[in-house]
Chain A
Amino acid sequence: MQKNTDDVFNMILASTVHDMKNSLGMLGESLKSIFERIEVSAIDKKATELFGIVQYETSRVNNSLMQLLALYKLENEQLPFNPSYYNLYDFLHEQKLLHLPLLDAKKIQCEIIVDEDIEGVFDESLLGTVLENIIGNAIRYTRTKISVSCTHSDHIEIEIADDGFGYPEEMIKLAGDYIHGINQSTGSTGLGLFFAHKIAEMHKHKEKVGNIKLANGGSLGGGRFIIQLP
């Protein structure tokens, strides 16, 4: 009986998330249409900025919904994991393109440092959801620029760094225990890091398991998010 209740809940959750995502899409597209109908002369700097904010917040909600759904499926052993070989140069550039409107609006530089022919084994869709969230946050908290870099030895290491104030000390200390990162006062839900950690752990090779790390400093002097995949 428990099984059936789970199935029903799973179905309702999935269809509701889809519905919410559709609503978001509709919101975004409708707003775009409104924007296109307005005469160019009537669009001032403030309007463009507000439009950017709506776009950004919509994509944030969308990303959170994706993470929630994936975590729910993971809990119920229904999250597919489909690792394959991908070119990291292409992959990371696509991540940047996703955030291009926001980067432009906030005039933030985004540098990608990766060799053109590096290949890695990972689940493209899941890692994409992780990075979309982390990069989005970096853009939110940085001052002038962020960097996305990747190195490849016996494992892949992707680092997202910014020149903002960095992660709070207590968050860095959580190391792996990100569910306790929930903090109403700072607005951190803990979801992004918790999700990133879970997805990193799904990536296994021989005895090794993926991991994430937080640090401050580095070449840009702000926060550093590092994900390692074996």
Chain B
Amino acid sequence: MIFSLAKKSTLIVEDFAEFARSVRAMLHNMGATKVDIVYNAEDAIDACKARKYDVILSDYNLGTKKDGQQLLEELSKYHLLKSNCVFLLLTAENTSAMVMGAVEFQPDGYIAKPFTGNLLKSKLQKTIEKKDALQPIRRAIINKKWNEALENIQQISEEHPKYKMSCLRLKYQALKNLKQFDKALELVTQIVAQRAIPWAVQAVGEIFYLKNDFTKAMDIFKNMTTEFPMALEGYDWLAKIQRQLGQPIEAQITLTKAIEKSPKALQRQKNLGALAEENNDLPVMTKAYRQAVKHSTNSAFSSPDEYIKLTTALTRQVAQGAETIPEKIIHEAESVFAKLEKSFLSSSSARLRSSVAQALLYKANKDEEQEKKYLALAEKNLHKIDEQISAEVSLELSRSLKSLGKEELSDQILNEAIQQNIDDQDFIKKASEITSNHELIKVSKQASQNNSKAINYFKNKKYSDSILYFDKAHKLAPTNINICLNYVQSLLKHAQTLNNSKETIQNADNMLTAMPQLNFSDPRYARYSELSRLVQLMIQNST
């Protein structure tokens, strides 16, 4: 069969126009008619929103902000790629110098620049062939249908022995997600026994970690960092385990090594900052979050966390009367707040966090007027909150507000968070250390107990009993989303057993309407929308 790109839409992402044109000529020679060119990652993202490309050729070094690997991560994260889209990275250096084989989002191939049209053609042909052959597996994985993925893997690896290794890697991914840890371990152990391939070595450690065998996992990752000193994921894992085993200082040393080799990774800088905070190492904490904020601006994975943490570090420096002139630190902190508010314009919780952190900064600098100003602003922002605040952020806010002398606001935030997280033991423990209102904690325990009881009744199909206990739990923690959804589900099951179910269905409908708004990205959203659909259906049928 003659290879042709006639039916494929292609995108070239390359900051060097002359070269982009030359690549386009190569693609035209392969029959391509739809070839778009953009000169940076930001425009590439817009292009991918407008059209789903079959082939994307991206330079690694894009000059501006994001590089080609970051572009791939962002496109994958926001599902802007077709499941059989071929993404090739064009690199100027040795390819493995950019990206190690163990990273999560892998391009389908690399081509070292400069290259000839013949080479590009050969690469594209092979990659498209492979991608098409493996597409059923990839589609199942995207839809998180792991068992279907396993069946596809079995079939495809028999049909195409050439893709055996890729199939094994996908098989590992499926087994891990199905929590079949023993099978997954057997698979990767066999691969490593043949050859120590970085991704497989990492996989062995990962499975030991998931099986809670931290000592074995630690050995694996220690070996990995010696055998593959540039495979930075090995350091990330090692540090994570060291921290968990109560060795935060060792963990900080481990991460520092990885950061020296590659300072660009946002998450790694954040992890280092958190460790330094735990170790009371203020200079390292400041430096790490400074880097995190710097790289956050280019990343799809940025969050207000790194900004707030950087200002926390700077505030501590002011409080401790560090050597530098406080004006300089305050000036830096102010610019971080400005950047934070600009980057997260539409987030009401980011604004609240920012105002609270600013009050803390001016308190540390003994500037009462400014402190009062930002406290008043914080109170105003608290009333405007229109989104769920995570457990971690709630702890941050209530801790800060308490230290600013606003116990009432602190408790208000904590109360809301406790209702939402009644089953999170770690969170409840931390919350009880902040508040002096122990009634809050007691109520959450009761709500949690009633919820568990109700679930048991539900499992045994005793729906009227389960409704009784969900109602008790709901009254104790009225904004808890899980309890609301459970309650609605029992009401619907119960309604199906009744002759006259109108009132019960109406109760369910009221419950869903009164429930706090769920974000589309919330993992519970699918369940919520399915329950709403059922309720509407049952209302129609009962009239």
Q: Is the beta-carbon distance between B161 and A117 smaller than 8 angstroms?
A: yes
Q: Does B253 contact A (CB under 8 A)?
A: no
With contacts A84-B197, A101-B116 taken as known, whether A129 is within 8 angstroms of B94 at the C-beta atoms is yes
Closest to A93 in B: B122
Closest to B194 in A: A121
Partner among B114, B118, B122, B229 whose Cβ is within 8 Å of the Cβ of A62: B114
Q: Is the beta-carbon distance between A80 and B231 smaller than 8 angstroms?
A: yes
When distances are taken between beta carbons in the complex, the residues of chain A under 8 Å from B113 are 21, 25
What is the CA–CA distance of A21 and B93 in the complex, to the nearest angstrom?
Answer: 9
Chain B nearest CB: distance from A27 CB in Å? Answer: 10
Partner among B100, B114, B122, B195 whose Cβ is within 8 Å of the Cβ of A205: B195
Q: Is the beta-carbon distance between B96 and A81 smaller than 8 angstroms?
A: yes
Q: Does A28 contact B (CB under 8 A)?
A: yes
Q: Does A39 contact B (CB under 8 A)?
A: no
When distances are taken between beta carbons in the complex, the residues of chain B under 8 Å from A69 are 93-94
Q: Is the beta-carbon distance between B94 and A30 smaller than 8 angstroms?
A: no
Stretch of B14-22, B285-293, B341-349 at the chain-chain interface = B14-22
Chain A nearest CB: distance from B343 CB in Å? Answer: 28
What is the CA–CA distance of A121 and B115 in the complex, to the nearest angstrom?
Answer: 24
Chain A nearest CB: distance from B68 CB in Å? Answer: 14
Q: Does B65 contact A (CB under 8 A)?
A: no
Q: Does B101 contact A (CB under 8 A)?
A: yes
With contacts A80-B97, A82-B96, A98-B119 taken as known, whether A18 is within 8 angstroms of B195 at the C-beta atoms is no
When distances are taken between beta carbons in the complex, the residues of chain A under 8 Å from B114 are 24-25, 28, 58-59, 62
Partner among B93, B94, B95, B119 whose Cβ is within 8 Å of the Cβ of A97: B119
Q: Is the beta-carbon distance between B22 and A32 smaller than 8 angstroms?
A: yes
Interface residues of B in 124-151 (CB under 8 A from A): 126
Q: Is the beta-carbon distance between B115 and A125 smaller than 8 angstroms?
A: no
Partner among A18, A66, A83, A205 whose Cβ is within 8 Å of the Cβ of B94: A66
What is the CA–CA distance of A117 and B92 in the complex, to the nearest angstrom?
Answer: 30
- What string of 1s and 0s marks CB contacts (under 8 Å) between B98-117 and chain A? 00110000000010111110
Chain A nearest CB: distance from B90 CB in Å? Answer: 11
What is the CA–CA distance of A58 and B115 in the complex, to the nearest angstrom?
Answer: 12
What is the CA–CA distance of A212 and B165 in the complex, to the nearest angstrom?
Answer: 28
Closest to A119 in B: B165
Q: Is the beta-carbon distance between A94 and B116 smaller than 8 angstroms?
A: no
Chain A nearest CB: distance from B26 CB in Å? Answer: 11
When distances are taken between beta carbons in the complex, the residues of chain B under 8 Å from A121 are 195, 197
When distances are taken between beta carbons in the complex, the residues of chain B under 8 Å from A22 are 16, 92
Q: Is the beta-carbon distance between A82 and B112 smaller than 8 angstroms?
A: no
What is the CA–CA distance of A136 and B531 in the complex, to the nearest angstrom?
Answer: 67
When distances are taken between beta carbons in the complex, the residues of chain B under 8 Å from A101 are 116
Q: Is the beta-carbon distance between B162 and A87 smaller than 8 angstroms?
A: yes
Partner among A58, A78, A84, A90 whose Cβ is within 8 Å of the Cβ of B230: A78
Q: Is the beta-carbon distance between B18 and A30 smaller than 8 angstroms?
A: yes
Q: Is the beta-carbon distance between B230 and A79 smaller than 8 angstroms?
A: yes
What is the CA–CA distance of A78 and B126 in the complex, to the nearest angstrom?
Answer: 31
Chain B nearest CB: distance from A16 CB in Å? Answer: 12
Q: Does A100 contact B (CB under 8 A)?
A: yes
Partner among A25, A32, A73, A85 whose Cβ is within 8 Å of the Cβ of B197: A85
When distances are taken between beta carbons in the complex, the residues of chain B under 8 Å from A174 are none
Interface residues of A in 63-118 (CB under 8 A from B): 66, 69-70, 73, 77-85, 87, 90, 93-94, 97-98, 100-101, 117
When distances are taken between beta carbons in the complex, the residues of chain B under 8 Å from A29 are 18-19, 21-22
Q: Does B312 contact A (CB under 8 A)?
A: no
Q: Does B123 contact A (CB under 8 A)?
A: yes
Q: Is the beta-carbon distance between A18 and B93 smaller than 8 angstroms?
A: yes
Chain A nearest CB: distance from B96 CB in Å? Answer: 4
When distances are taken between beta carbons in the complex, the residues of chain A under 8 Å from B161 are 117
Chain A nearest CB: distance from B426 CB in Å? Answer: 37
Q: Is the beta-carbon distance between B16 and A78 smaller than 8 angstroms?
A: no
Q: Does B198 contact A (CB under 8 A)?
A: yes
Q: Is the beta-carbon distance between B96 and A85 smaller than 8 angstroms?
A: no
Q: Is the beta-carbon distance between A21 and B92 smaller than 8 angstroms?
A: yes
Q: Is the beta-carbon distance between B16 and A82 smaller than 8 angstroms?
A: no
When distances are taken between beta carbons in the complex, the residues of chain B under 8 Å from A18 are 61, 92-93
What is the CA–CA distance of A79 and B95 in the complex, to the nearest angstrom?
Answer: 11
Closest to B22 in A: A29
With contacts A29-B18, A101-B116, A121-B195 taken as known, whether A81 is within 8 angstroms of B93 at the C-beta atoms is no
Q: Is the beta-carbon distance between B195 and A98 smaller than 8 angstroms?
A: no
What is the CA–CA distance of A97 and B122 in the complex, to the nearest angstrom?
Answer: 8
The 6 A-B residue pairs whose C-beta atoms are closest, nearest first, are A80-B230, A82-B96, A125-B95, A97-B119, A29-B18, A97-B118
Show 20 residue pairs from A and B whose CB-CB distance is below 8 angstroms, ordered by the A residue. A14-B93, A17-B93, A21-B92, A25-B114, A32-B22, A62-B114, A73-B97, A81-B96, A81-B228, A84-B165, A85-B165, A87-B162, A94-B122, A97-B118, A98-B115, A98-B116, A117-B162, A124-B95, A124-B96, A205-B195
Further contacts, 7 of them, CB under 8 A, given A83-B196, A84-B101, A85-B195: A21-B92, A33-B18, A78-B230, A83-B195, A90-B126, A117-B161, A125-B96
